[in-house]
Amino acid sequence: MSTLEPLPPHLERLGRDLVSAATELQRPRARTLMPWPWRTSRSLIRGRFALPFALAGLVVAVAALVPNLGGSGPAPAFAAPLVRFAQASPRVLLPLPGWHVVDANEEASGMGEIDFVKGSTTARSRVLDVPAGASLYRPRSVSGRIAALTWYRTPEGGLVEGRKVSIATGLGVRVTRLFVEGKGRGYLDLSAFLSDAGLEMRFRAMVRNMTMFRQELLAIRTVDVTTFLKAMPSYVITSISATGDAPKTIRKMLHGIALPPGFTTAKIRSPGLIRDRYQLGAAVTGTVACIWIRDWNHARIDGDTAAANRAIAAMSTAPHWPILIQMAKQGGWPSVLEAFANAMKQGNWYGRSLVSNVNGGLGCRALGVKLGPTR
Amino acid sequence: MMKMDSELGDRELLAAARRDPEAFGVFYRRHALGLERWLRTQTPDLATAADLTAESFAQALVGLDRFRGENDAAAQAWLFGIARNLVRRYHRRGRVEMATCAKLGVQVAYEPDELTELETRLQALGRATDLADALNELPSAQREALELRVLDELEYTEAASLMGTSEQNARMRVSRALRTLHQRLQGASR
């Protein structure tokens, strides 16, 4: 090897950190570094919502799968929020023997997920939507037993990544891209991307081989609203039904929050479909924060120091917003939002554009708030 | 470390790094600047390139067990392949995801002045690495085969299935890609 160039200081520091981390990895330890593919999938897509924390609370009470709601008689009458929920989703099921839905959700941004598991689940494992007996850190133990369909609609383009392929599915459309999320001994973690009727979808599954993945893709089916809702676990039905009075819940959540001029609950996008209090709280506080940051951004550009300072002052009260105090017990959303509030005082995000980082961090675009120029 | 630095090739370093953290340090020292230089050409600012550099090496570190390349070119292709994937994700999502750095407790810290100085230095150094160029110039079928096998770590049968070709053909494409990279890198070092 020839003589190496000296590294700049930040790379020197990074090198030391990496060697320290490598040293830590050598030590005997519990295998906590193995990414859990199931929730990794969710976090990669959702990013800003700490759903796993919120799910834990929901799961305690209900471990059983949904009973046969309809039987062979007339179709059951589902509450309006449930019907809206089903109509907004692609209503895809995986009707292979032993497979069932263990979770389904939709966020304010029009993004959602249906989680499938083959075999039984237990109260403990339901927290993570994994089959009973599966090991958290051994993907091979869930190979062929878990899958998820994520969908979203956005004008910005897709989640699509990976390599071009053409694979048949049971939906009548073909997979156009395939991405290898991970691989190890005895398992493949694959994502297939497809589009149908204005929805972009990602079918992700842990499988033993490509043949198994193709079989699962061929098996997925779109079903009607009733069939879809009958396949939902009981706690999904219960929690969606409970959001029938979302506007009232939102009004309570806004209590104690410094609201931007002209703010109304109508600014909060699709609240009726969010069935999780933590997510609803994130949508509500995120929308408020995004509007304040938008106003701050425009005021800076216009040279309106007073308006900019008003926005800064309003956001500096975020640590005292009651809903954020409650949410802090469940996840990291409040700390993210407060970090952006602090950065407004500096005018930048660690030397970079605050606006562009807020867009990614709070998902303002998905919440329907355009922040304006990024510089 | 000096002995290791002067004697071991990249493939050997990655193999040794599974047991010896210093070996990973040597591999890092060899490629950190080159990778960051290349990432700088793919991203709007050096801060982003620095973040992606950190995440690339962090992913390489936790994925050492999965590296199965057979020569130094494969080792470098593996590292740059990780970085290429991260760049793709960055462009698609509009932000750098630092999940692996976070898991490892690795932070990217710098003073703005440091980056300004480095920016000047990188501009003076000019072109990005030959390896990145060589990867980009491979025929698409070869590059895809190399990525599936070396970056995605698929078995040849699985890679072949994804490409719609035979296992033998997949092996041939990977072999040709590696040979091209090897020749290109040897030529660059002369």
Q: Is residue B187 part of a domain?
A: no
Q: Is residue B75 part of a domain?
A: yes
Percent of chain B at pLDDT exceeding 70:
81
User: Would you call A245 an interface residue with chain B, using a CB distance cutoff of 8 Å?
Assistant: no
Q: Which residues of A touch B19 (CB under 8 A)?
A: 26
Q: Is residue B16 part of a domain?
A: yes
Residue B107 banded pLDDT, cuts 50, 70, 90: confident
Q: What is the 3-state secondary structure (H, E, C) of chain A?
A: CCCCCCCCHHHHHHHHHHHHHHHHHHCCCCCCCCCCHHHHHHHHHHCCCCHHHHHHHHHCCCCCCCCCCCCCCCCCCCCHHHHHHHHHCCCEECCCCCEEEEEEEECCCCEEEEEEEECCCCHHHHCCCCCCCCCCCCHHHHCCCEEEEEEECCCCCCCCCCEEEEEECCCCCEEEEEEEEEEECCEEEEEEEEEECCEEEEEEEEECCHHHHHHHHHHCEECCHHHHHHCCCHHHHHHHHHHHHHHHHHHHHCCCCCCCCCCCHHHCCCHHHCCCHHHHHHHHHHHHHHHHHHHHHHHHHHCCHHHHHHHHHHHCCHHHCHHHHHHCCCCCHHHHHHHHHHHHHHCCECCECHHHHHHHHHCCCCCCCCCCCCC
Which of 14-43 (A) contact B at CB < 8 A?
14-15, 17-26, 33, 35, 43
Q: Which residues of A touch B124 (CB under 8 A)?
A: none
Q: Tell me, what's the pLDDT at A160?
A: 56
**Per-residue pLDDT averaged across A49-78, rounded?**
33
Ranking A58-72, A138-152, A351-365 by mean pLDDT, the lowest is A58-72
Ranking A137-141, A204-208, A294-298, B143-147 by mean pLDDT, the lowest is A137-141
Residue A170 banded pLDDT, cuts 50, 70, 90: very high
Total domain count, chain B: 1
User: Is the ipTM value over 0.85, yes or no?
Assistant: no
CA distance B5 to chain A (A): 7
Residue A368's Cβ-count burial label (10 Å; 0-12, 13-18, 19+) is middle
CA distance A36 to chain B (A): 12
User: Would you call A163 an interface residue with chain B, using a CB distance cutoff of 8 Å?
Assistant: yes
**Per-residue pLDDT averaged across B67-79, rounded?**
81
User: Would you call B89 an interface residue with chain A, using a CB distance cutoff of 8 Å?
Assistant: yes
Q: Is residue B9 part of a domain?
A: yes
For residues B40 and B119, give the distance between their C-alpha atoms in angstroms, rounded to a whole number.
9
Q: Are the Cβ atoms of B30 and A44 closer than 8 angstroms?
A: no
Q: Which residues of A touch B25 (CB under 8 A)?
A: 15, 18-19, 22
Q: Which residues of A touch B36 (CB under 8 A)?
A: 11
- pLDDT tens column, A269-317: 754 455 567 777 888 899 999 999 999 999 999 999 999 999 999 999 9
Q: Is residue B189 part of a domain?
A: no
User: Would you call B153 an interface residue with chain A, using a CB distance cutoff of 8 Å?
Assistant: yes
For residues A248 and A374, give the distance between their C-alpha atoms in angstroms, rounded to a whole number.
35
- Domain that includes residue B29, residue range: 1-110
Q: Are the Cβ atoms of A33 and B103 closer than 8 angstroms?
A: yes
Ranking A116-125, A144-153, B118-127, B178-187 by mean pLDDT, the lowest is B118-127
Q: Is residue B105 part of a domain?
A: yes
Q: Tell me, what's the pLDDT at A37?
A: 33
Q: Are the Cβ atoms of B45 and A10 closer than 8 angstroms?
A: no
Q: How many contacts (CB atoms, under 8 Å) link A and B?
A: 129
Higher pLDDT, A107 or A258: A258
Give the residue carrying structure tokens 């973690």: A189
Q: Which residues of B touch A33 (CB under 8 A)?
A: 62, 103-104
Q: Is residue B163 part of a domain?
A: no
CATH code at B42? 1.10.1740.10
Question: What mean pLDDT, rounded, does chain B reach?
Answer: 78
Give the residue carrying structure tokens 């999938």: A41
> What are the φ/ψ torsions at residue B150 (nearest 5 degrees)?
-90, -45
User: Would you call B19 an interface residue with chain A, using a CB distance cutoff of 8 Å?
Assistant: yes
- pLDDT tens column, B127-178: 445 666 677 778 888 888 887 877 666 778 888 877 778 888 888 888 888 8
Q: Is residue B84 part of a domain?
A: yes
**Per-residue pLDDT averaged across A162-179, rounded?**
88
To test the contact with chain B by mutation, choose from A3, A12, A180, A352 the residue with the greatest count of B C-beta atoms within 10 A, namely: A180
CA distance A89 to chain B (A): 23
Per-residue pLDDT for A195 more than 60? yes
Q: Are the Cβ atoms of B105 and A178 closer than 8 angstroms?
A: no
A190 touches A240 (CB < 8 A): no
Higher pLDDT, A241 or A72: A241
Chain A's closest residue to B151, CA to CA, is A180
For residues B175 and B160, give the distance between their C-alpha atoms in angstroms, rounded to a whole number.
14
For residues B127 and B149, give the distance between their C-alpha atoms in angstroms, rounded to a whole number.
28
Per-residue pLDDT for A181 more than 50? yes
Q: Tell me, what's the pLDDT at A127?
A: 46
Within 10 angstroms of residue B168's Cβ, the number of other Cβ atoms is 10
Percent of chain A at pLDDT exceeding 90:
22
Q: Which residues of A touch B102 (CB under 8 A)?
A: none
Per-residue pLDDT for A168 more than 90? yes
Q: Are the Cβ atoms of B104 and A18 closer than 8 angstroms?
A: yes
Q: Tell me, what's the pLDDT at A289?
A: 95
Which of 40-59 (A) contact B at CB < 8 A?
43-44, 47
Higher pLDDT, A238 or A95: A95
User: Would you call A77 an interface residue with chain B, using a CB distance cutoff of 8 Å?
Assistant: no
Percent of chain B at pLDDT exceeding 90:
7
- Across the interface, of A11, A13, A180, the residue whose CB is closest to B154 is A180
